[in-house]
Structure 1
Amino acid sequence: MEITAYSRPFHLSSKTKDLIVFIICLICIFLFLTSAYDKIAEHSKFVRGLSKVAYIGSYAELIGWLVPITEVAISLLLINPKTHKLGLTGFVATMVVFTAYILSMILWAEKLPCHCNLIIERLTWGQHIWFNLAFIIIATFALFLKTNISKHKH
């Protein structure tokens, strides 16, 4: 007779975990590609907004290209299941940086420029932070599932 210290009342199959990771990756891709498109399509507006921010204003042109290029590169990593872990890690790291940027703007900026797109531009700064945190949490969950899938497949 085998006795276990815990039971597994909630168990997801590898197929279900793969599907959840895939859906989360699609959502993250959508967020980053629409954001990158907006920053590229409205590049001069994006750079002009960045140039008004203390400390980074002199790097506005560089940041104006690095941000959308990073978003596209991470989206490409999120497309391929073999690079999901790297893409999700990059996504979480980038969202943490974006959230830290927003928090620093709230704390220290006299004027709060918004470089957002779609629905996000209608959010308050507090809502924007919660939005980012939600994406950080779901992407971290997908990363956890992906790591868990990899461990059980090998």
Structure 2
Amino acid sequence: MPVEELRYDKMVEEALRGVVRDSLVFAAEHGLPGEHHFYVTFRPHHPDVEMADHLKARHPDEMTIVLQHQFWDLDVTEDGFAVTLSFSGKPERMVIPFSAVTGFADPSAKFGLQFQAIPGDDDEDDMEIDAFDPEPSRAPAAADVGDKPEPQPPGEGGGDGNVVALDKFRKK
């Protein structure tokens, strides 16, 4: 099969999804140090997401989970991760492929990534990297201990909060 073009957008996406993967591997092996916690936003109706139907019904388009104090059995593979979280006091197991992830943030480090569909691309699961505000404007799903996550005051945490948008480098 001849190569028509170099798909830098796909290469960058895979590299940045590796940051998400490596962060989750670290958390699975060592726990989360200090104030670190993750917001993971994903598409619940992605064909490879496995989670309770009642949760999919409550979050039809997008869902954000928080990995902070209480999460269990975090397993990370090359293609995705599985975790058990508490929703209204009931443990729920979720399996989430990285191709379903639309956002990842660690607000304590002022770090975030957002992935969106590439216009005109035939593969719906391929994503594009865009600028992301690591402090979500809407509250994430109450997945940490069954309660709402504690909001982070603006300006706290380390890092400089810079996120680079790659749109200006894309072929139009």
With structure 1 as the length reference, what TM-score do the two structures score?
A: 0.34
Q: Looking at secondary structure, tell me which structure has more helix per residue.
A: 1
Q: Looking at secondary structure, tell me which structure has more strand per residue.
A: 2
With structure 2 as the length reference, what TM-score do the two structures score?
A: 0.32
